[in-house]
Amino acid sequence: MREKLAAYLEAGGSLLATGEALGALPPSLVRPAGEATAGPAYLRVASGWADDLPDLPHVVLSGLTPLEAPGAETLATLTLPYPPRGEHFYFSSPQVAYAEDTSLPVMVHSGKVIALGAPLFAEYARRGYGAHRQLLQAALRRLLPEPLVSAHLPLSCEVALFQQGDRIVCLLVPYAPVRGDGIPQIEEWPMLADLTVGVRGDFDCVHVAPGGLPLPCHRRGRYTLAGPLLLQGPAAVVFE
């Protein structure tokens, strides 16, 4: 896998590696600089690149691994958690070491690689902490400033693209807006209105399949945008 990823990077690809996937990166690029923290830890995001995130330490329950990446830009650093408090320790006790920021990188950007010392995709899927999604989204924007899809959709929508000759099929699937373990689900499709979906490229017409319902479309930069779209259940939007 390491050889494949090295060839992918050499060909101009970009990588966002988190958690155990760090082991597949070339050690000369990024490697662990110590053991992962035991239990919950916090990361503080560097200013100026992920402006959607509040300027405070954000918890990572699965722990954080410090990283070593020569010449890389540090995107987030480790903040030490409060130690466990027993009956003999109080907030005013001088023996208590308060949480403190460190200069240890836990998220770095080097060339076309962003590495994060935590399995944040899995943690977000389990716990649904919005700050994790914002952090990963900011990282993807750094690596892909012009993604294939440009859309105004709720977070509960999942999008997949398929190419069929000269046309692009954009499959939209709305899911429950709240995710995580132990969350009850209601098997009923929500109705979503006034949606906009676009793909990168120059297309002349857009319609919803099946049925062929045409959608108004227009160009904006490198994208063809279509809408407004009324969505109730899965739908395929075809760009031709």
User: Is the per-residue pLDDT at 83 higher than 80?
Assistant: no
Q: Give the Cα separation of 23 and 176 in Å (integer).
A: 33
Sign of CA dihedral 164, 175, 148, 6: negative
Any residues with CB less than 8 A from the CB of 31 and at least 6 apart, and which?
22, 25, 67, 68, 69
Under DSSP, the state recorded for 23 is: G
Over residues 94-151, the pLDDT tens digits come to 444 446 789 999 999 999 999 999 999 999 988 888 999 999 999 999 999 999 999 8
pLDDT at 89: 45
Residue 192: closest CA among 171, 174, 178, 206? 174
Over residues 20-43, the pLDDT tens digits come to 999 888 888 898 998 888 778 899
Residue 162: closest CA among 147, 148, 146, 145? 148
Tokens of 77: 């650093």
Work out the pLDDT band at 91, boundaries 50, 70, 90.
very low
To the question of pTM greater than 0.95 for the whole model, the response is no
Inter-residue contact 48 to 73 (CB < 8 Å) = no
pLDDT at 183: 66
Residue 234: closest CA among 160, 161, 173? 173
Q: What percent of the chain stands above pLDDT 70?
A: 88
Please compute the mean of the pLDDT values over residues 211-216 and round it to a whole number: 92
User: Is the per-residue pLDDT at 48 higher than 50?
Assistant: yes
Q: At what angle do helices 130-143 and 120-127 cross, to 10 degrees?
A: 140
pLDDT at 56: 87
The residue among 231 and 184 whose pLDDT is bigger is 231
Work out the pLDDT band at 185, boundaries 50, 70, 90.
low
